[in-house]
Structure 1
Amino acid sequence: MRIVRRIMLMVAVAVLICAPQVVAAEPSPFVQGFIEGYLLKINTTEDTGRTAEIETYSGERFVLTVHPQAQFLIDNRLVQWNELRSGMEVYGTIQGRQLKSLEAYSTAQLGFIDPGTKVRKGVITNIGSDSLQVRGGDGTEATYQLYPSTIILSQGKSLSADTLYTGDRVKLFFDDINSSVISRLEVQGSSIQVKDVYRGQMTSVDAYSNRLIIDDLERFYNGSWQTAGADYAWNYTRGLPLYYGGQIVPERNWPYYRGKTLYLISKNLLGRETIDRAVIKGQYESGYSDKIETVNWFADSIELASHRNLRLNEGTIVIKNGRLQDRFAVSPGDDVYIIADGSGTSLTANLIYIYNEDINRSVLGQHFLYCGILDQIFEDRVWLDRYYMLNQHEWERYSRDKELFYDLDSDFYNLETKSMISAAELYAGDYAVDESEDRARDLDLQNWYAWIYTDGDRIAAMAVQKEAETVSGQRITTGRAVNIQDDSMVGWTVLLGDSRDWSSRREAWVPKSADVRINLAKAMIIRNGEIIGAEELKPADRLYIVRDDFRAQVVIVQ
Structure 2
Amino acid sequence: MNKRLISTVIFILLIMTCISTAFAVSTVSGTIQYIDLKNNSVTVLDFQNNIHRAYIDKNTDILTEGKESGLKDLYFGQYVEVSLSGNRALKINASLQIEPDRQGYIVPGSRFRRGEVFSIDNKSIEIKGERGREKYALTSSTEVYKKGEETGLSRIKEGDKVLLTFDDIYSSNVSQISIEDEEKHIEGVLKGKIEFLDENKKDIQLNEVSIYNNGKWDKNSSYSLKLKIQNDEIYYKGEKISLKSLKAKGKKEVYIAFEKSFGEMTASKLLVKEGSSFQYTDKIKSIEYGTGRMVVDNNSLYFNQGTIAIKDNRLIDPLNMNRGQDVSLYGEFSSGNKLTSLVFVQGTGILNDRADDTKILVYRGKIEDIYDYQVKIGNINYRLDYMLLDDNRWKEMSEGERFTVTEDTYIYDSDLRLTVPTDGFISSRYIDLNDVEDKTLRDRIKNNFYKGKIAYFVVKESPYGKEVLGMNITPQLSQYRQNVTLDYSSIGEIKSVDYDNNTIKITKMKNYNTLNNQWESTSDESISLNKTLVLLNDKPLKNDELYKLSEKNTVYIIRNKSTSQDGVYVLLVED
Q: In terms of Rg, which structure is larger?
A: 1
Rounded Cα–Cα distance in structure 2 between residues aligned with 1:440 and 1:503: 38
Contact residue 116 and residue 183 of structure 1 kept, 8 A: yes
- Is 1:555 matched up with 2:571? yes
Rounded Cα–Cα distance in structure 1 between residues aligned with 2:423 and 2:106: 47
SS of 2:485 mapped into structure 1? coil
- Runs of 5+ unmatched residues, structure 2: 1-104, 380-385, 431-442
Worse-matched range after superposition: 175-184 or 149-158 = 175-184
CA gap 1:421/1:266 in 2 versus in 1, 3 angstroms = farther
- 1:398 match: 397
- 1:215 match: 207
Q: CA deviation at 1:172?
A: 2.8
The one-letter code of the counterpart of 1:355 is: Q
SS of 1:328 mapped into structure 2? helix
Contact residue 484 and residue 494 of structure 1 kept, 8 A: yes
- 2:134 match: 141
Rounded Cα–Cα distance in structure 2 between residues aligned with 1:534 and 1:245: 47
Q: CA deviation at 1:404?
A: 1.3
Rounded Cα–Cα distance in structure 1 between residues aligned with 2:186 and 2:366: 40
Q: What are the Cα deviations for residues 418-472 of structure 1, in whole angstroms up to 9, with x where unaligned?
A: 44454334335599xxxxxxx9899694534332222211122233333346571
The one-letter code of the counterpart of 1:223 is: G
- 1:312 match: 303
Contact residue 169 and residue 191 of structure 1 kept, 8 A: no
- What TM-score results when the alignment is normalised by the length of structure 2? 0.68
Rounded Cα–Cα distance in structure 1 between residues aligned with 2:244 and 2:108: 46
- Is 1:196 matched up with 2:160? no
- 1:450 match: 455
Rounded Cα–Cα distance in structure 2 between residues aligned with 1:160 and 1:410: 19
- Percent of residue pairs bearing the same amino acid type: 20
Q: CA deviation at 1:339?
A: 0.8
CA gap 1:190/1:352 in 2 versus in 1, 3 angstroms = same
Q: CA deviation at 1:353?
A: 0.9
Q: How does 1:18-167 map to 2 (within 5 A)?
A: 116=109, 119-128=112-121, 130-142=123-135, 144-167=136-159
CA gap 1:344/1:151 in 2 versus in 1, 3 angstroms = same
The one-letter code of the counterpart of 1:127 is: I
- Runs of 5+ unmatched residues, structure 1: 1-111, 432-438
CA gap 1:185/1:502 in 2 versus in 1, 3 angstroms = same
Rounded Cα–Cα distance in structure 2 between residues aligned with 1:271 and 1:360: 33
The one-letter code of the counterpart of 2:333 is: G
Contact residue 167 and residue 192 of structure 1 kept, 8 A: no
Rounded Cα–Cα distance in structure 2 between residues aligned with 1:444 and 1:332: 47
Rounded Cα–Cα distance in structure 2 between residues aligned with 1:249 and 1:525: 46
Q: How does 1:463-502 map to 2 (within 5 A)?
A: 463-468=472-477, 472-485=485-498, 492-497=503-508, 499-502=509-512
Contact residue 211 and residue 233 of structure 1 kept, 8 A: no
- 1:9 match: none
- 1:542 match: 554
Q: What are the Cα deviations for residues 45-77 of structure 1, in whole angstroms up to 9, with x where unaligned?
A: xxxxxxxxxxxxxxxxxxxxxxxxxxxxxxxxx
Aligned residues: 435
Q: CA deviation at 1:207?
A: 4.3
CA gap 1:379/1:191 in 2 versus in 1, 3 angstroms = farther
CA gap 1:430/1:211 in 2 versus in 1, 3 angstroms = farther
Q: CA deviation at 1:212?
A: 2.4
Q: What are the Cα deviations for residues 380-424 of structure 1, in whole angstroms up to 9, with x where unaligned?
A: 222223232212212223344321113333333343444445433
Match of 1:377 among 370, 373, 381: 370
Worse-matched range after superposition: 270-279 or 196-205 = 270-279
- 1:423 match: 422
Match of 2:325 among 323, 334, 340: 334
- What TM-score results when the alignment is normalised by the length of structure 1? 0.70
Contact residue 230 and residue 267 of structure 2 kept, 8 A: no
CA gap 1:283/1:269 in 2 versus in 1, 3 angstroms = same
Q: What are the Cα deviations for residues 7-65 of structure 1, in whole angstroms up to 9, with x where unaligned?
A: xxxxxxxxxxxxxxxxxxxxxxxxxxxxxxxxxxxxxxxxxxxxxxxxxxxxxxxxxxx
Q: What are the Cα deviations for residues 508-545 of structure 1, in whole angstroms up to 9, with x where unaligned?
A: 32322533444433111211111235554333222111
